[in-house]
Structure formats: C-alpha cells, structure tokens
Amino acid sequence: MTTQTPLSFADLALSTPVMDALKRIGYEQPSPIQAEAIPHLLNGFDLIGTAQTGTGKTAAFALPLLSTIDLTIMQPQVLVLAPTRELAIQVAEAFKTYASAMKGFNVLPIYGGQGMDTQLRQLKRGVHVVVGTPGRVMDHLRRNTLKLDQLKTIVLDEGDEMLRMGFIDDVEWILEKTPKQRQVALFSATMPAPIRRVADKYLNQPKIVKIISKTSTVESIEQRFWMVSGLHKLDALTRILEVEDFDGIIMFVRTKALTVELAEKLEARGYAASAINGDMTQTLRERTIEQLKKGKIDILVATDVAARGIDVSRISHVINYDIPYDTEAYVHRIGRTGRAGRTGKAILFVAPRERRLLRAIENATRQPITPMELPTRQQVNEKRSAQFKDTITEALERNDLDFFHQLVQSYVEEHDVDPIKLASALAFLAQKSKPLLLDETSKKSSSREGRSHKGEDRGTRDERPFREAKTKSFRPEKDNLPKSKRGNPKVPMDNYRIAVGKNHNATPGDIVGAIANEADVEPRNIGHIELKDDHSFIELPVGMPKIVYDSLKKVRVRNQPLQIEKTDHVAKPALTSAKPAKGKKTYTKKPKKNKNKTID
C-alpha cells in the first residue's frame, strides 16, 4: 500500500558511513518505497517491491545492503541483475555514491560489449558488489571467475523488463547457482505471471511492498524534450538559448565537474553563466545565487544537491542538460520555475537510450512532455538579426551620440562614401566578435534541419526508413501474432550476411541483442535470422546509415566480429510450428530463450 511517512533516513538504522554519504549528498527524507523496503532488507527478509521506474528503488536496496557489507571480505556479497548495460552502469554508480564514506569499498558493473580482460582483472582484485546483465554474469559463472560463496543478497532489478527482453530463463539459471541461504529482493513495475512464478519458486516468505505513484502537478510549467541526435549537445543547447526568450535559467547536470566545465563553455560563447556545486563554500554559494537574483548572471549550472532551496523569482527556464535518474528529482528541478503563479518552461535533453527514463517521468507526472524541434539555422540567424536591430534602436535613443555623429559625418565628407555602406561596415565591426549568421562550418546536420520528427533528426532520404524503423510506434496486439508475422510489414528490409553462426555457439538472441543495442533498433524491427554453421543471414530495415554499418562490423558476438555485409540471400522465415523442420535450423527474431547473451 502507499505510505505517507514523516520518517527521515536517520530513523532507518542505516550504518554510519552510509548516513555520512547521505548527508553529503543532501538526502533527508526517504521516498515511500525506501521507507518501506529498507527496514525489511536490513532485517534480512526477502522482498517483492512493486514500483515504477524513478521512485527511488535503487536507493531502496542499495542503502540497506551497503549497511550490511563486510569490507574485510573481498568477495561479492551483493549481486544485482539488471536488464541493460545502461541500467547496470547507473546502479553501480549509485552504489559508489552511497558508499563514498566506506573506505576500500569496490563495486563492479559487468556487461556484454565491455572488455572481458578488464572485468577479470577487477574481479581478481576483489569486489564487494557486482551489478551485471544476465548474459555476462552467466559467462563469468561458467568460467568460474565470479564466485558466489560469500553472496548474501541477490537483487533482481526491473523484473518485468528482463521478462520482456527474454532473460527470465537466464535469471533462473543464475538463481540456481547462488547459495541456498541468501536473501532475494525482486523489484518490478508490474507483476506478470512469469515473474510471480519466479518469486514463488525462489523467494522465501517475502515481504510485499507496493507503491502507487501519486500524480505530481506541474501544470504551470510548459515541458518539452529534445531527443539528442545530429548536433552535439552543447551546440544544440546554444541554438536553443539563442531562440528562447529567457530571463534566468537553472541548468541541471549530473556531476560537479560538469557544472564548471559547462559554465566555462557557455561563458566562452557569450553567456553570463556560473557553476554551483557541493564543493563550493556556503558563502560562495550564497554570493552566486545573489548574482543570479540581481541579473549579474543569467545561467546557473547546478547539481541537484547544490540547487536545493534555491528560490529565485526570475527563473523563467529550467534546462535538464542531463536527464535525472529519479522522477522526484525531475519534479523538484522543474519546480524552480513557474513559481508565485507565474508560468515557467522546462526543457529536457534525452539520449536515445534514455527513453525509458522519459517514459517514467511522464508516468510519474501524469503529463506528456512535448517533443521539440531544434531551431534551424534560419531561425537562429533571424533571432540574431532582430536582437542586433534592437541594439541599434536602443543606441539611437541615447542622447550622447554627438561625438560619433560628427566622427561619421567627417568620414563621409573625407572619403565621399555612401552612408549606407559606411553603416554596413560599422555594423560588421560591431558584430565581429559574435557573427549574426550561424557559422557554416557547423553544418554537420544542415541537410536534416527543418525535418525533425518528435525531436529526432529524420536524416537524408536514404537514411529515413532505417531511422523511422527505430522510432515507429507499434500496436500491442502485434505481439500476439505468430512469430513469422511479427514486426512492421511497412518497413522494407535489406538482407545481410554476418560472420557468426552455430559453430560459435551464437543464438538469435545474442545477434538481436548486439544489433539492437549498437544500432538502436527496436528488436521487433529486426526481421528473420537464418543461423548457419559459420555464418548467418539477417534482415534489417532499409537505409542503414554508414556510421551504423561501420560500427556493426566491429561488434562482437561470442567473441566473434559480425563483419556484416549486404547479400542477395534472403533469410528464410521460421516455420509456424513450434519446432523447425529437421535439418533446417531457422529462426525469427526474439526467441523464447536467450541463453548466454554476451552483448546486452
């Protein structure tokens, strides 16, 4: 049930080093799932936690498990299974942050696509917490390089997502390899039947924590997002700043180092910007906020912790340069604008692999975030010209131009020059440091401008079908069709040969995972896969960009490079029966079992 609690973290019996880290971060009050889950995990109970992404569930298991870690034992005591490499990295970073006061603590993310040698070296040195994707964890268990003799707790994070990606069989295989006496914590946004079956089989009288997200009202704030593509984030940010009419801005980033770096780069581009982070003294922090209030600076680049308590009425925009991992943090961030009955604007930068976090924020706020188009070159140029004209108008209204009037008059008489030409030359000199026309050398995505779709560059004519295949929305009922009929029939396919096959112990799941991750293609948009002994054939959407094609050549599955190349051979579809015909092993994408996935 939903819990409204006045508890503070100090009431939850967490260890002193963990509490020291929380004080440094600035966390004071636990979220509902943290308040309910932490006591159960501290007391050693198994746990089923049902909560949406972005409700603070990572801290709900990381904080209590860190409080029970024995730093003298240099072997994995906590194993967290995550469905994607991105989530594995995020969770590992969270453990590192919460353990910042635990001297000698080591956490290791392990996932496919990362060098095995690096992981082996760190495992040999000794780690306390391992966060990994199922495929790579299985690889290490088979090699006997990941030892679970000292394992106290295993966490299954985003269980329903692991089910959707075909990892449940892998998860059960891993659970069978863990000690019989261990704690299991399962977190999932929903509880479908296969997840419930795993819970019934492997959890021992678990405590149940179910959190229903409340609606967060941010109705006075216009929310938009830009899907990061084409231009570099900083170049895109500059374009947005040039076209937006803003007064004051708070710009949020994830790290203290980036606050300084981004503020310096914005200053170099002519903006009055300053950084604020946890390393600053209170005096300097207060002075910087005062400068923002008085209009001496217009942009404050901040971390979540440093921005706590800031209430400046002139903040017209909040820009999330880095998307927050916590939906509550997002709501707190954008709440810095739209205060005292005023309207505010919030802009969110979202990398393609962060779509899951965007969906979580929309679910938590119960409000859609509108995709925005990046300002075109023409819009930027028009805005610069309008601002320059305004500057001229302001100068003409001044009363102290007599000296300059005489100077220009004498120049016209001495050189017999057209006054309009002279004015043009003076305008050129005045705007020389900041040209009115956007630099042509930044033409990286000029062929795509003005054609963005839902915040993404649509690309050239040849690229478009491939890119649309990545962003196309599908009707849920299509997942109920036979495998041979799945996918989007409107997306034309090209045929490719890859140098990976049955002799390399590769599965269709391995291939789908590698290509979907590297090319950012929805797995359902990958066509038939025909597995041969030393190679395979696969269908992919037409119009693959060259940069993606080149990167796929280097991707390794089962330590074997794909070496992808176009072919005239058409991959044969799977038979509609449960088993393929004898002597003919053909597959469609997304097989039921996804064993030994090395690239997740």
Q: Of 494, 502, 489, which is closest to residue 545 (Cα–Cα)? A: 494
Highest mean pLDDT (candidates 168-177, 262-271, 333-342, 449-458)? 168-177
d(CA 388, CA 93): 46
Euclidean distance between CA atoms 529 and 569, whole angstroms: 12
Six-digit token string for 103: 């001297």
Q: State the pairing for strand pair 315-320/370-371.
A: unpaired
Model confidence pLDDT, tens digit, residues 395-433: 788 767 878 888 888 888 888 888 888 888 887 887 766
Nearest to 47 by CA among 207, 195, 161: 207
CATH placement of domain 9-210: 3.40.50.300
- Read off the pLDDT of each residue in 260-284 and give the average, rounded to a whole number: 87
**599: nearest Cα among 565, 554, 532:** 554
Average pLDDT score over the chain: 79
* Three-state secondary structure string covering 322-390: CCCCCHHHHHHHHCCCCCCCCCEEEEEEECHHHHHHHHHHHHHHCCCCEECCCCCHHHHHHHHHHHHHH
Both structure tokens of 409: 């008059």
Is the per-residue pLDDT at 581 higher than 50? no
- Contact by Cβ (8 Å): 58, 109: no
Q: What's the rounded Cα separation, in Å, for the pair 458 and 444?
A: 14
- pLDDT above 70 for 170: yes
Closest Cα to residue 381, out of 267, 239, 246, 230? 239
For residue 348, name the pLDDT band (cuts at 50, 70, 90): very high
Alpha helices in 473-545 (DSSP H): 508-519
Residue 217 backbone class (left: φ over 0; alpha: ψ -120 to 50; beta: rest): beta
Mapping DSSP to helix (H, G, I), strand (E, B) and coil, where does residue 171 land?
helix
Angstrom distance (rounded) from CA 118 to CA 136: 13
Instruction: Pull the structure tokens for residue 314.
Output: 């002139």
Residue spans per domain, the chain:
9-210, 221-375, 377-395+402-448, 464-587
Higher pLDDT, 153 or 256: 153
Intrachain domains 9-210 and 221-375 with the same fold? yes
H-assigned helices in 482-582? 508-519, 546-554
pTM to 2 decimals? Answer: 0.48
pLDDT for 197 beyond 70: yes
Which CATH number applies to 221-375? 3.40.50.300
Q: What is the mean pLDDT of residues 286-297?
A: 89
- The CATH class that applies to domain 464-587 reads alpha beta
pLDDT of residue 213: 59
Contact, 105 vs 128, CB < 8 A? Answer: yes
pLDDT(84) > 70 = yes
